[in-house]
Chains A and B, each alone.
Chain A
């Protein structure tokens, strides 16, 4: 992709906006359409775009394997951990009201942490799936198009 100058320049300008939009959707899930899944997919789309235009090796340097593997598990542990914290503080599993003692703020904090966990897991799983697909060398040339 070294000769696609327009693609490289436009991608460099677009990727920060995509990442910022993903963060916006993640943290405004309580107040408008959005939430963990949508934000995770948009975040992964930014990284996949980077990998498509700039090459897989460059993308692997930005997002190394050990980081991907730890983040895939971290999101799920965060979600389950919020439930366990609720249990240790005296309520049922995944009860958010006991996190701060007040129903309104407890729900907000609980939902924020949960959506963060979901967003992290979904985005890193999508990036890892794309890297797995793209690291297989194609076994056929272009004669079958």
Chain B
């Protein structure tokens, strides 16, 4: 049911030309996928996806829209080449899923390789109830360090691109005007 709504929202995003409506529908898409993730027993991930996708992403896109255009230009060029590319890629991916384990199979290789050891260790050695936080912080701590560094770098990148966080926007605008004029 939720997957049907997701499909309809994606279809609407493809065909709408009013950018404000597109941004709103992407927020709806994130919210529906967060609901789907709760049904798939991924509560931490659903929490993060709802907060990040329906919150921060939508706000930043609306901020971009106030600084750029509001409508998309209707293009007249032929769209069958992207359609063919997309169909070929989709067919290849579906061919790849043909020998995946069935949905919900408890004997799939992703469950039996390393996870029982992590769950056992968290239960008996650490005694931390939230297994996801324990794996994130302690078994896979290096990945989380790298991810924090990625967020840090993205913040620095945006500050570099869009002018100082403080009040130097007058200098940036003068610089830009003289750059465009030359």
Say whether A and B bind each other. Answer: yes
| Inter-chain pairs besides A103-B126, A108-B128, 10 sampled, C-beta below 8 Å | A25-B47, A33-B130, A34-B133, A35-B132, A41-B48, A41-B52, A75-B148, A75-B152, A128-B165, A137-B169
With both chains docked as a complex, state the minimum distance between the C-beta of B51 and any C-beta of chain A, in angstroms: 4
Chain A min CB distance to B152 (Å): 5
- Report which residue of B60, B125, B154, B155 has the largest number of chain A beta carbons within 10 angstroms of its beta carbon: B155
Q: Is B67 an interface residue (CB 8 A)?
A: yes
Inter-chain contact A37/B126, CB cutoff 8 Å: no
Near B by CB (< 8 A), chain A positions 71-111 give: 72-73, 75-76, 79-80, 83, 94, 96, 103-104, 107-108, 110-111
Q: Which of A98-145 contact B (CB under 8 A)?
A: 103-104, 107-108, 110-111, 114-115, 117-118, 121-122, 124-126, 128-139, 144-145
Residue from the list B44, B154, B166 in contact with A35, Cβ < 8 A: B44
Chain A residues near B163 (CB-CB < 8 A) = 132, 135-136
B55 within 8 A of partner (CB): yes
Once the chains bind, are A144 and B51 in contact (CB under 8 Å)? no
Whether a CB of chain A sits under 8 angstroms from the CB of B59 is yes
The answer on a CB contact under 8 Å between B134 and A144 is no
A80 and B142 CA atoms in complex are apart in Å by 10
Task: Check A80/B130 contact, CB under 8 A, given A44-B56, A135-B165, A144-B70.
Answer: no
Q: Can you name 12 A-B residue pairings with CB atoms under 8 Å?
A: A30-B134, A35-B130, A75-B152, A80-B145, A110-B137, A114-B141, A117-B148, A125-B155, A129-B154, A133-B60, A135-B167, A135-B169
Bound state CA distance, A136 and B52, in angstroms? Answer: 23
Tell me whether B16 is interfacial, beta carbon within 8 Å. Answer: no
Q: Tally A-B pairs: CB < 8 A.
A: 147
- A94 and B158 contact, CB distance less than 8 A: no
Q: B144 — which chain A residues lie within 8 A by C-beta? A: 79, 114, 118
Q: Which residues of B contact A68 (CB under 8 A)?
A: 165
State in angstroms the CA–CA spacing of A77 and B112 once bound together: 36
Residues of chain A lying within 8 A (CB to CB) of residue B129: 30-32
User: Which residues from B are CB-within-8-Å of A58?
Assistant: none
* Complex contacts, B125 vs chain A, CB 8 Å: 103-104
Compute how far the CA of A124 lies from the CA of B57 in the bound complex, rounded to whole angstroms: 16
Question: Which chain A residues border B132 with CB–CB below 8 Å?
Answer: 33, 35
